[in-house]
Amino acid sequence: MAFDYDLISIQEARDTARKAKEAQQVLAGFSQKEVDNIVAAMAEAGRVNAEWLAKMAVEETKFGVFEDKVTKNNFASTNVYNYIKDMKTVGVLKEDTARKIVEVGTPVGVIMGIIPSTNPTSTVIYKSLISLKAGNAIVFSPHPSASRCTFAAAQVMNEAAVSAGAPEGIIGCLTKTTLAGTEELMHHDDIAVILATGGSAMVRAAYSAGRPAYGVGPGNVPVFIERTADISQAVSDIITSKTFDNGTICASEQAVIVDEPVKDRVIAELERQGAYFLNPDEVEMVSQAVMQPRGGMNPAMVGRSARVVADKAGIRVPEGTRVLIAPLEGYGPKYPLSYEKLTTVLGFYTAKDWHEACLLSIELLKLGGIGHSFVIHTQDEQVAREFIKKPVFRILVNTPSSQGAIGYTTGLAPSLTLGCGTWGRNSTSDNVTPLHLINIKRQAYGIRQVSQKQVQRPGTGQLSTEEIAEVVQAVLARIS
């Protein structure tokens, strides 16, 4: 029966990709205005349905926070839309009269969107908007534990698009979720680009599928509280970020590094705002509950509240505990909580100064966050600038990391796909937008003439034809 189900899934993948291709070929003939009307209708549908989609996601996945998932759905529907609505993506994008170049945007075709269980509905809304804004179709492959809510979100987006004039099938979603079906979709000839959000193995598979892909790597984001920071605000930002949807955004902080002169103040403020510091035995107990023996996080602990994690670990924490903090003496395999934890647990370190914090943050990033994000809380602009040298592409200053990296509290492009560049083995270091999903044609006019070489005649220093023939005959005679 499992084999039959795989075959059904593979056939569904083929049919969905073909239907999306047919729809996209129609959409490719639409004007910018027609495309924009469709995208506006989709954004409105995302806003109207934000709450019930969030409720469905929490009920199906059994993790995260309903209110925060509503916020993420609204972020995808409103913030992303407001950022992209005036973008030129279809037809003439730009004319450079001085260089006589005309740039024309054309769709890439059909996008495959891989959707994670951590952000199942908001990612569908976001990827649908940026794909259709660029004139493309999109087909989704859901995570097995979030297939119903992912499909529901895709239906909302497709119905809104079709009601605004898009061809039927412009947004598709697999209902038979299997690895075989996902792999078939990845390798299908009608798929032009893969937008991969999920675990490292899935992202690597997307990059090896033989077509362009945008994937994201793990975060393992360090945050440094420097001695000049506004301690109360820094702690508030960190807890706000780490508890947002119970830490399911890959940009959430993973380890706090504190400047030694302010260590006691930071600890007191963390405890005042709902953090619980684990003792050495409790660190070990939480490590066993949250992390797997062979590495990686226990999926059952993803997006869980501090209370649930503590109960699972068998420890008692005060009422109102919002995050668990694990003081660590090192990093790497002997310290499992030094790795990425998409839940309400933070590592904790002390550094003598910003130089030591810098070196430590690099080591933590090497555990799985190279290229992603880093956060610093400081009032010293010179120190903040020193951290631009970190091997990440988002250096966030005085802001919650989860919200800052996605462009909610910063001026970065609003996005739920955060590239990690070549350092993270990704094809882009950007927050992905519709501009990553178009091809650009360039019509270039000649602006300068090629000077012709002057041909010298016999008697001007060059051999004549007769003289060349005599030299050749002489050489041949010597050879013979």
- Active centre residues (catalytic): 250
- Measured distance CA(430)–CA(421) in Å, rounded: 8
Helix (H, G, I), strand (E, B) or coil at 225: strand
Q: Nearest-CA neighbor of 119 among 74, 164, 158? A: 74
Tell me which residue has tokens 């972020």.
Answer: 75
Pairing of strands 191-196, 171-173: unpaired
- Measured distance CA(385)–CA(375) in Å, rounded: 12
- Measured distance CA(43)–CA(41) in Å, rounded: 5
Residues facing residue 259 across a β-bridge: 351
| Ramachandran sector of residue 332 (left: φ over 0; alpha: ψ -120 to 50; beta: rest) | left
- Measured distance CA(104)–CA(180) in Å, rounded: 37
- Measured distance CA(328)–CA(367) in Å, rounded: 15
DSSP of 438-461: EEEEEEE---SPPPPPPPPPBTTT
Amino acid letter, 28: A
| Ramachandran sector of residue 6 (left: φ over 0; alpha: ψ -120 to 50; beta: rest) | alpha
Per DSSP, 75 falls in state I
- Measured distance CA(92)–CA(83) in Å, rounded: 20
Residue 454 exposure: Cα atoms within 13 Å on the Cβ side: 5
- Measured distance CA(131)–CA(387) in Å, rounded: 34
DSSP of 166-215: PPTTSEEE-SS--HHHHHHHHH-TTEEEEEE-S-HHHHHHHHTSSS-EEE
- Measured distance CA(17)–CA(111) in Å, rounded: 9
Secondary structure tally for the chain: helices H, strands E? 17, 15
Q: Nearest-CA neighbor of 416 among 148, 156, 46, 162? A: 46
Buried b (16+ CB within 10 A) or exposed e, 368-391: bbbbbbbbbbbeeeebbeebeebb
